[in-house]
Structure 1
Amino acid sequence: MLHTLMKSPFETNVSLVISMLKKSDDFLALQDGVLIALKDNIFLKSIIMSPVKLYLIKEDVYARGIRKNISREFILINYIHFVSLTLKHKKQMTW
């Protein structure tokens, strides 16, 4: 399953999101969801300990000026790779 976080993690039940992640899943943050990757935020340790690959939409990271402040545990991707993830996962959950 592809889990997409579009809202700020401060407006989302991140504990619930993390509890739903399985090893075969992927996690993608976009729009304000990219804030979950900020270094030293309260959600970072939990999300990077999850068993999934972590992705961020590069354009959203740059638009918010946070590139230098995000965890290296996240992979920056573009929208073409986003489409590839949607094709890889038949099921998706938007948070």
Structure 2
Amino acid sequence: MLHTLMSSPFQCDYALLLRMLQPGDDLLLMQDGVLAGLTDNLLLPQLLDSPARLWVLAEDVAARGLDAQISSKIAVIDYNDFVMLTVKQQQQMPW
């Protein structure tokens, strides 16, 4: 399943999101969801311990001026890669 976190991790049920992530899932941080990928975010360790592959949308990171603050443990992708994720994962869950 492709999970897309579009809101700040402080404005969604982040604990439920973490519980829902399964092996083989992908989680894309986009829009304000990119805040979950900040290196100084207290919630980041839980996210990195999840069984899902983690991605962040480069355009949303750049739009917020956070390029240097995103964890190096999260892969930065563009819209073409986002399309490939949607093709790969037949189901999507927006957060």
For structure 1, the residue ranges without an aligned partner over 5 or more in a row are none
Give 1:35's aligned residue.
Answer: 35
Deviation at 1:70, TM superposition (A): 1.1
Give 2:45's aligned residue.
Answer: 45
Identity of aligned residues (%): 47
**Mapping of residues 1-95 of structure 1, within 5 Å:** 1-95=1-95
TM-score normalised by the chain length of structure 1:
0.97
Distance 2:30 2:36 in 1: 10
TM-score normalised by the chain length of structure 2:
0.97
Distance 1:85 1:73 in 2: 18
Aligned length: 95
Counterpart of 1:85, as a letter, is L
Deviation at 1:68, TM superposition (A): 0.8
SS at match of 1:10: coil
Deviation at 1:40, TM superposition (A): 1.9
Cα RMSD for the two superposed structures: 0.7
Distance 1:80 1:69 in 2: 23
For structure 2, the residue ranges without an aligned partner over 5 or more in a row are none
